[in-house]
């Protein structure tokens, strides 16, 4: 029997869930608050260039994304390239991210480099992460590489991404990031990252077309205000004060919304959702006449720059223009989060001109800042026990967001995988 299913959120997780459902004969309706699909992967027209609000690269281990592209007959759209990583430190760009670069780096002594190299190597080979779940990441890294090395290579990354949360991040979460990037290589010396031809839009269009052609619906500009529960069963949803009846709801919206969206959950469960912290992002994208450097990713440790790094996207995806993304991660409650976009854009231009002195004001073609309030869950030590159960005690209700696939970092592949598994759960119930 087909169920009446509402999917909340048309990010990769919601779309993947709906796609799995339509393939199995259901006709879900997706409700999306935004005026477009995609969530964090949504695209916009940047003075003639159709591009994501937030940069996206892919790793060779992103197996769920790779097989979804295959299923959608888009395998040939995934392009793999050799990319370079750099490190802006003491007013110059150093090569980074491979053993030779580490040996050449003048900021560390020989034994420090050895310790750093051993840490990076063993972290990317490690498989068992459960013992890292309860450890704090800073202490874990310092134990391997020492405080001095940590301060040069990692401290600014932690502090400018997590601010007051930076001493409270799970080592398992950091390990998963190191392993994802560390294993995406042609060989030990060459990094291998991927992009989708046409960007995430290629995937979003294919999913949207498949869902709608198989009978699903996607309603944009449709923020759901409440999920209605009666006798521990789903009754429906409320949208613009109207009620629509459903027997199943899959919510993929960021979990900080849950306490308001589903207030009839038990107090204990609401408390669990409310205990998960998130940080926001203001991501500046710049179109520029000259390339900043030859790196795709430039880590930054500079007391005059309040950013952890800079992503020169056109060094991954060949484009007619040079495109640079600069993320400012900030807790939503931080006073800087409410600064106007222009402040972030001005800073980015200043930082770029400091990094590459041949660039001046006239070289900037366009700039835009995009915001996402709940861009990254804070996965604290012991996070595994903090994730609310998928069984919320309400028949027909499933709730998840990017924190559910901890220790993996938020990613398209992981959201696709989780979305599929939510749909399968509904299909098997
Ligand atoms: C700066 C940045 C860089 C990133 N880089 C990469 C990368 O390089 N590679 C990679 O794989 N991933 C990357 N990601 C992560 C990736 O974008 C996410 O993992 C993925 O988009 C998450 O998808 P999702 O569907 O789980 O959640 P989301 O994308 O958050 O989707 C949730 C959706 O719910 C909607 N919504 C919210 N409230 C309501 C409501 N009340 N009613 C209806 N709809 C609602 C939202 O509008 C949104 O569309 C990056 C993210 C950011 C922010």
DSSP string over 206-246: HHHHHHHHTT-EEESS----EEEEETTEEEEEEETTEEEE-
Q: Which helix (DSSP H) or strand (DSSP E) does residue 376 occupy? A: strand 364-377
Q: What is the pLDDT of residues 181-226, one digit of tens each?
A: 999 999 989 999 999 999 999 999 999 999 999 999 999 999 999 9
Q: Is 214 exposed, middle or buried (0-12, 13-18, 19+ CB in 10 A)?
A: middle
What is the number of the ligand 1 atom nearest to the C-alpha of 329?
1
The pLDDT of residue 400 is 98
The pLDDT of residue 2 is 79
The pLDDT of residue 172 is 98
φ, ψ dihedrals at 373, nearest 5°: -70, -40
Cα 39 from Cα 41, distance rounded (Å): 5
Q: Which CATH architecture has domain 278-377?
A: Alpha-Beta Complex (3.90)
Output the six-digit token pair for 131: 């013992």
Cα 349 from Cα 304, distance rounded (Å): 13
φ, ψ dihedrals at 283, nearest 5°: -110, 120
Output the six-digit token pair for 178: 């190191």
Output the six-digit token pair for 138: 């800073």
Which residue is closest in CA terms to ligand 1's atom 51?
A: 40
Which residue is closest in CA terms to ligand 1's atom 7?
A: 56
What is the number of the ligand 1 atom nearest to the C-alpha of 372?
53
Tell me the CA–centroid distance for residue 307 and ligand 1, in Å.
Answer: 21
Tell me the CA–centroid distance for residue 10 and ligand 1, in Å.
Answer: 9
Q: Which helix (DSSP H) or strand (DSSP E) does residue 5 occupy? A: strand 5-8
Tell me the CA–centroid distance for residue 11 and ligand 1, in Å.
Answer: 5
Q: Which CATH architecture has domain 5-56+199-276+380-428?
A: 3-Layer(bba) Sandwich (3.50)
What is the number of the ligand 1 atom nearest to the C-alpha of 11?
25
Pocket of ligand 1 (CB under 6 A): 8-14, 31-34, 39-41, 54-57, 223-224, 252-254, 257, 261, 281, 283, 327, 372, 375, 401-402, 410-413, 415
Q: Considering the entire predicted model, what is its pTM?
A: 0.97
What is the number of the ligand 1 atom nearest to the C-alpha of 402?
26
Which residue is closest in CA terms to ligand 1's atom 40?
A: 223
Cα 353 from Cα 361, distance rounded (Å): 8
Tell me the CA–centroid distance for residue 411 and ligand 1, in Å.
Answer: 8
Q: What is the pLDDT of residues 126-164, one digit of tens each?
A: 999 999 999 999 999 999 999 999 999 999 999 999 999
Q: Look at residues 392, 18, 426, 3 and name the one whose alpha carbon lies nearest to residue 236.
A: 3
CB 327 within 8 A of CB 286: no
Which residue is closest in CA terms to ligand 1's atom 11?
A: 411
The pLDDT of residue 67 is 97
Q: What is the dihedral of CA 329, 330, 332, 333, to 10 degrees?
A: 180
The pLDDT of residue 49 is 93
List per-residue pLDDT tens for the chain, 429 residues long.
678 999 999 999 999 999 999 999 999 999 999 999 999 999 999 999 999 999 999 999 999 999 999 999 999 999 999 999 999 999 999 999 999 999 999 999 999 999 999 999 999 889 999 999 999 999 999 999 999 999 999 999 999 999 999 999 999 999 999 999 999 999 989 999 999 999 999 999 999 999 999 999 999 999 999 999 999 999 999 999 999 999 999 999 999 999 999 999 999 999 999 999 999 999 999 999 999 999 999 999 999 999 999 999 999 999 999 999 999 999 999 999 999 999 999 999 999 999 999 999 999 999 999 999 999 999 999 999 999 999 999 999 999 999 999 999 999 999 999 999 999 999 998
Which residue is closest in CA terms to ligand 1's atom 38?
A: 253
Tell me the CA–centroid distance for residue 377 and ligand 1, in Å.
Answer: 11
Domain assignments of the chain as residue spans, ordered by start: 5-56+199-276+380-428, 81-193, 278-377
Q: Which residues pair with 187 in a beta bridge?
A: 190
The DSSP bridge pattern shows strands 85-89 and 297-301 to be parallel
């Amino acid at each position: 029997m087909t169920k009446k299913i509402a999917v909340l959120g048309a990010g990769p997780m919601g779309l993947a869930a709906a796609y799995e459902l339509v393939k199995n004969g259901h006709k879900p309706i997706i409700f999306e608050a935004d005026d477009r699909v995609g969530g964090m992967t949504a695209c916009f027209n940047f003075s003639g260039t159709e591009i994501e609000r937030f940069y996206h690269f892919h790793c060779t281990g992103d197996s769920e994304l790779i097989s979804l592209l295959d299923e959608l007959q888009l395998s040939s759209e995934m392009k793999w390239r050799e990319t370079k990583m750099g490190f802006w430190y003491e007013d110059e760009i150093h090569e980074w991210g491979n053993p030779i670069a580490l040996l050449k780096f003048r900021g560390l002594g020989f034994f420090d480099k050895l310790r750093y190299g051993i840490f990076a190597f063993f972290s990317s080979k490690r498989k068992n992460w459960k013992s890292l779940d309860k450890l704090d990441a800073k202490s874990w890294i310092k134990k391997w590489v020492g405080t001095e090395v940590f301060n040069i290579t990692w401290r600014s990354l932690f502090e400018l991404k997590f601010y007051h949360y930076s001493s409270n991040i799970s080592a398992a979460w950091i390990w998963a990031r190191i392993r994802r990037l560390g294993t995406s290589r042609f060989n030990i010396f060459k990094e291998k990252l991927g992009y989708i031809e046409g960007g995430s839009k290629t995937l979003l269009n294919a999913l949207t077309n498949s869902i709608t052609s198989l009978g699903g619906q996607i309603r944009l500009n449709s923020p759901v205000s409440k999920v209605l529960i009666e006798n521990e069963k789903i009754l429906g949803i409320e949208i613009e004060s109207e009620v629509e009846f459903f027997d199943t709801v899959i919510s993929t919206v960021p979990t900080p919304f849950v306490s308001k969206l589903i207030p009839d959950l038990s107090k204990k469960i609401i408390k669990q959702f409310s205990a998960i912290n998130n940080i926001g992002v203001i991501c500046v994208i710049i179109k520029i006449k000259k390339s900043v450097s030859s790196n795709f990713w430039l880590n930054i440790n500079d007391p005059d720059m309040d950013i952890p790094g800079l992503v020169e996207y056109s060094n991954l995806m060949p484009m007619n223009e040079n495109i640079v993304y600069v993320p400012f991660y900030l807790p939503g409650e931080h006073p800087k989060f409410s600064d106007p976009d222009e402040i972030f854009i001005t800073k980015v231009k200043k930082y770029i001109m400091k990094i590459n002195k041949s660039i001046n004001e006239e070289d900037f073609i366009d700039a835009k800042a995009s915001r996402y309030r709940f861009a990254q869950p804070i996965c604290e030590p012991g996070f595994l026990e903090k994730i609310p159960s998928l069984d919320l005690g309400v028949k027909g209700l499933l709730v998840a967001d990017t924190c559910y696939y901890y220790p993996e970092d938020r990613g398209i592949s992981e959201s696709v995988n989780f979305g599929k598994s939510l749909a399968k759960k509904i299909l098997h119930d």
